[in-house]
A and B are shown apart, each in its own frame.
Chain A
């Protein structure tokens, strides 16, 4: 048990150096626990069954994300332990010269890992349990459940899961450590501290060229994802700006390190003031070797910022859209006149279903023992129509060829959907939307999906005629009108054609739709009606019909749930990424601080004030933390613009608010790591 004692003493002795490592592990364990225990936190809440479903989906998603998170944390822990082993090369060298076998050294490390693992798991789970109490308040708030009574929640499942995941990670660390120890040579161990890295001077002209090239490359990547985003045709092309961005980030760090030192050394007044020359050289000597990790950290920060701010903004938009996009209580829709040929029978149609699809919504609901007249008021019933005579490509006119190359992924062979003018106006009146009038040979397109509007507008501008049941119609307006007929949580109407009533007949029916409000006005009454719909799932008839019921309440709960899911996943990933990158930086700085101990001692011997030394240390660490952050922030500006474009359907309400939230997270976590790193480094270089 000598070895066990030795490792215990080692940990005690180097606790200061381990502090950041411990801190990160504990944080990792706590966060892992908190996000995996979300389901047990929500079980206590009094929420409707549809919310229950969403929470289930959310926890499933979170546990899938957890696997990914485990990989990131595992990578971080292995990386961190490599630093710590490096720092102790001399110690291991001494053990080896004393005749200790490599196997025994591996055993020491093995015990240390177990000890650290156990301590971090216990403390982390403790903190996680406390944090999850706060979390349940946030969760309750999000799902708008009332948390009338406080219950202490401890999730055994999540606890066991955390222990298993982290045990696997620690196991990998042990294996890794053993490999490292077995591979090392005694001479390298003993002399590792003496190897001072040679300062390679970079040619400033070459640096300038590389810098200009990489800035150009980066600008082009920025251009591709923002102003030139329309030119990105396929998903694969997204990788071009990504690869450009990664490569140019690396070369910007590489060339800047050479350039900045060149410039600052020529600013004699600044350079030879106080310890400035020392700080600059410290940074530049390290930046040569840390370009890789700087790039990595910069990209991690970039992802963090984008994920966090987009997730928060999606959540905000989802709730904001609801009021205007779901103004009525319920919409029931049903596909009419199903036909095996039309759908190639991908729906597995049975003769019963085909037979049933001749019935209207009202009749189908009757078969489910639900009389619409008893429950609904302000009812609007109408059909939509579609025919293979008018496909998407036919409505674009000359623009079709261009559109096909520009947006190859759109479905040009789909049939367009039509509605009678009078039906539309009735629906629009109920939904509180704009009503229209038409001449005999005119049509209007209503749409609110931002990506489709410009495409359709091209067709409208060309005055593209459509031929419907033998008669030709021309656009009334040269652009789409902003409107919709289906209630939903987002702007998803890609385009519906309003035509004069006599343009359509019942031979080309597509859907039958009922829009209505409930006769009940109280919350309880509405909920009662909704529960009838849930119970319909058990009715034998439901299998044969293709009724599709969306209610304001379910849309609302869905979108709140989806918003919460996005937020939690965003927070989870964002925080883990942030912690990982900050911890990497912190560990790197700390391991270098101990190498720098000698240098700071020298400065002290020369009679440098303690204040001056601390300031120099602060500057040095600050530069390393701020450098990747600045570039990451610049990346993020364009990244967020791109995310906005991708997530257009969700809208981008309160983007500023979510960016501010992200900034707060960044300041707390990244700033926290910075301060801790500074304090620990100060401790390391302190004279005993």
Chain B
């Protein structure tokens, strides 16, 4: 399998000499093309920091991150922005849709900042909207949509650029359970049918159970890693719960 993301001994420290916080402490792992990986951990475990350094929103203290063999820790300025808009797609917990734009325009923005022809934009949006089931809401403003619809619009925006990697930060965090389920099924569809590589951060075992692999993080270190393999989602969910229990009280809020 081809490796799309390679994390090589990264560390991220906060603070100064007198009070040093190791948010990420020597983490290494790889993500292959077409994988759906979930990263689990309680608040303060460093999972958001991990996502931030992969998405180049934050910088590592040491170590390297390779996306398709490019060391993104070496990128600067506009090449960083170029990388972000061409290689990555983002889904945020609070949707991050622009409230002044309609759903259609929000999705189009991801392409128009790459100066893509409006005709192609229109065609692509129609395709993505069909696969994410949001055709009806394209002309609505964010405040006119439900949370689930908003998150699917945000997902459409994330995948429309055909990114090498989609990063999702607690995508179900602000959704009710029914919308969560619907969104995650769409994620599965994107992953299996469109071969989108997804890296998702969550503290929710149910959400994580949709992934093909779950990496557990505690105190900035990798604590455990389990594969779904041929398990059903239900069996995988039970396995995840086992690890969560093993992790102890720290992840209790996840249950």
Interface centre among B81, B100, B122 (most CB of A within 10 A): B100
With both chains docked as a complex, state the minimum distance between the C-beta of B111 and any C-beta of chain A, in angstroms: 8
Q: Which residue of A lies closest to B98 (CB)?
A: A599
Q: Which residue of B lies closest to A273 (CB)?
A: B112
**Contact A606:B84 (CB < 8 A) given known A268-B118, A272-B108:** yes
Contact of B113 with A274 in the complex, beta carbons under 8 Å = yes
Residues of B contacting A272 with CB < 8 Å?
A: 108, 111-112, 118, 121
B204 close to chain A: CB less than 8 A = no
Contact of A605 with B84 in the complex, beta carbons under 8 Å = yes
With both chains docked as a complex, state the minimum distance between the C-beta of A264 and any C-beta of chain B, in angstroms: 12
A276 close to chain B: CB less than 8 A = yes
With both chains docked as a complex, state the minimum distance between the C-beta of A195 and any C-beta of chain B, in angstroms: 11
Binds B, one of A277-285, A535-543, A623-631: A277-285
B101 close to chain A: CB less than 8 A = yes
Residues of B contacting A275 with CB < 8 Å?
A: 109, 112-113
Binds B, one of A120-128, A443-451, A607-615: A607-615
Contact of A199 with B118 in the complex, beta carbons under 8 Å = no
**Contact A199:B90 (CB < 8 A) given known A607-B83, A608-B81:** no
Q: How far is the CA of A507 from the CA of B113 in the complex (A)?
A: 93
B19 close to chain A: CB less than 8 A = no
Q: How far is the CA of A603 from the CA of B81 in the complex (A)?
A: 10
Q: How far is the CA of A486 from the CA of B223 in the complex (A)?
A: 106
Interface residues on A, range: 20 to 34
0/1 per residue, B96-140, Cβ < 8 Å to A?
101111000100111111010011011000000000000000000
With both chains docked as a complex, state the minimum distance between the C-beta of A629 and any C-beta of chain B, in angstroms: 24
Contact of B101 with A273 in the complex, beta carbons under 8 Å = no
0/1 per residue, A278-297, Cβ < 8 Å to B?
10011011000000000000
Q: How far is the CA of A269 from the CA of B108 in the complex (A)?
A: 12
Q: Which of A268, A281, A609 contacts B98 (CB 8 A)?
A: A281
Contact of A277 with B112 in the complex, beta carbons under 8 Å = yes
Residues of A contacting B82 with CB < 8 Å?
A: 607, 609
With both chains docked as a complex, state the minimum distance between the C-beta of A404 and any C-beta of chain B, in angstroms: 60
A94 close to chain B: CB less than 8 A = no
Interface hits, A250-285 → B, CB 8 Å: 268-269, 271-278, 281-282, 284-285
Contact of A606 with B90 in the complex, beta carbons under 8 Å = yes
Q: How far is the CA of A605 from the CA of B82 in the complex (A)?
A: 11
Contact of B115 with A273 in the complex, beta carbons under 8 Å = yes
Residues of B contacting A281 with CB < 8 Å?
A: 98, 100-101, 105
A196 close to chain B: CB less than 8 A = yes
Interface hits, A593-643 → B, CB 8 Å: 599, 602-612
Residues of B contacting A13 with CB < 8 Å?
A: none
B88 close to chain A: CB less than 8 A = yes
Q: How far is the CA of A608 from the CA of B85 in the complex (A)?
A: 7
A198 close to chain B: CB less than 8 A = yes
Interface residues on B, range: 20 to 34
Residues of A contacting B119 with CB < 8 Å?
A: 268
Contact of A274 with B85 in the complex, beta carbons under 8 Å = no
B237 close to chain A: CB less than 8 A = no
Q: Which of A268, A271, A282, A612 contacts B113 (CB 8 A)?
A: A612
Residues of A contacting B145 with CB < 8 Å?
A: none
Contact of B101 with A277 in the complex, beta carbons under 8 Å = yes
Residues of A contacting B115 with CB < 8 Å?
A: 273-274
Residues of A contacting B112 with CB < 8 Å?
A: 272-277
Q: How far is the CA of A284 from the CA of B157 in the complex (A)?
A: 23
Residues of A contacting B122 with CB < 8 Å?
A: 268
Q: How far is the CA of A275 from the CA of B122 in the complex (A)?
A: 16
With both chains docked as a complex, state the minimum distance between the C-beta of B30 and any C-beta of chain A, in angstroms: 24
Q: How far is the CA of A274 from the CA of B114 in the complex (A)?
A: 7
Residues of B contacting A268 with CB < 8 Å?
A: 118-119, 122
B143 close to chain A: CB less than 8 A = yes
With both chains docked as a complex, state the minimum distance between the C-beta of B120 and any C-beta of chain A, in angstroms: 10
B78 close to chain A: CB less than 8 A = yes
Residues of A contacting B100 with CB < 8 Å?
A: 199, 278, 281-282, 284-285, 599
Q: Which residue of B lies closest to A605 (CB)?
A: B90
Q: How far is the CA of A278 from the CA of B143 in the complex (A)?
A: 17
B57 close to chain A: CB less than 8 A = yes
Contact of A610 with B113 in the complex, beta carbons under 8 Å = no
Contact of B110 with A606 in the complex, beta carbons under 8 Å = yes
Q: Which residue of A lies closest to B88 (CB)?
A: A607
Residues of A contacting B84 with CB < 8 Å?
A: 605-607
With both chains docked as a complex, state the minimum distance between the C-beta of A615 and any C-beta of chain B, in angstroms: 11
Contact of B109 with A609 in the complex, beta carbons under 8 Å = no
Q: How far is the CA of A349 from the CA of B108 in the complex (A)?
A: 88
Q: How far is the CA of A282 from the CA of B98 in the complex (A)?
A: 10
Contact of A602 with B98 in the complex, beta carbons under 8 Å = yes
Residues of A contacting B101 with CB < 8 Å?
A: 277-278, 281
Q: What are 9 inter-chain pairs, A to B, with CB distance below 8 A? A: A196-B99, A199-B141, A272-B111, A277-B109, A282-B100, A285-B100, A607-B82, A607-B83, A608-B85
Please provide the 4 A-B residue pairs with the shortest distance between their CB atoms, ordered closest to farther.
A607-B85, A607-B84, A281-B100, A272-B118
Interface of A with B (CB < 8 Å)? Answer: 196, 198-199, 268-269, 271-278, 281-282, 284-285, 599, 602-612
Besides A268-B122, A277-B109, A281-B98, 6 new A-B residue pairs in contact (Cβ under 8 A), listed by A number: A272-B118, A599-B100, A605-B92, A606-B109, A610-B77, A610-B81
